[in-house]
Homo-oligomer: A and B are copies of this chain.
Amino acid sequence: MAARPPLSKGEMEVARELWQLGSATVRQVHEVFPAGREIDFTTVQTYLRRLETKGYVKARLVGRTLVYSSRVEPRKVIGQAVNELVDRLFGGEALPLMRHLIEEGGISDSELAALRQLIDRLESEEPRDAP
């Protein structure tokens, strides 16, 4: 449908922050960036502008400052990115990715437990449709 151009790494990073904030100015998004991540104010600005032209966010002028907010379901976007990765790296199969995450990526015991719960829940529910 939308055929929105895919998000680049940087754009995704910024989009994530914006989703977290709900709606925010360039400055606000910029300030939220984690300490380790050096990034110029204007760079964030550019990303937000591009996100807008790509149709992922909308901007509203408040005073003389643009306030950005999302226009898409983060879940959808993330899902797309994940699928993309699964396709390219794992031939479209999710399980190998899971295996990788479990075996290679360091997962803590508590995470494992949580994961098990997830599976249990899904198995008991078993409805194939969306809520």
Chain A contact residues, CB within 8 Å of chain B: 9, 12-13, 16, 75, 78-79, 81-86, 88-91, 94-95, 97-105, 107, 109, 111-112, 114-116, 118-119, 122-123
Q: Can you name 20 A-B residue pairings with CB atoms under 8 Å? A: A9-B84, A12-B88, A16-B88, A16-B91, A79-B100, A79-B104, A79-B105, A83-B105, A94-B105, A94-B107, A95-B107, A97-B101, A98-B98, A98-B101, A99-B118, A102-B119, A112-B122, A115-B119, A116-B119, A119-B119
Q: Is the CB of B85 within 8 A of A81?
A: yes
CB neighbours (8 Å) of A81 from chain B are 85, 89
Copies of this chain present: 2
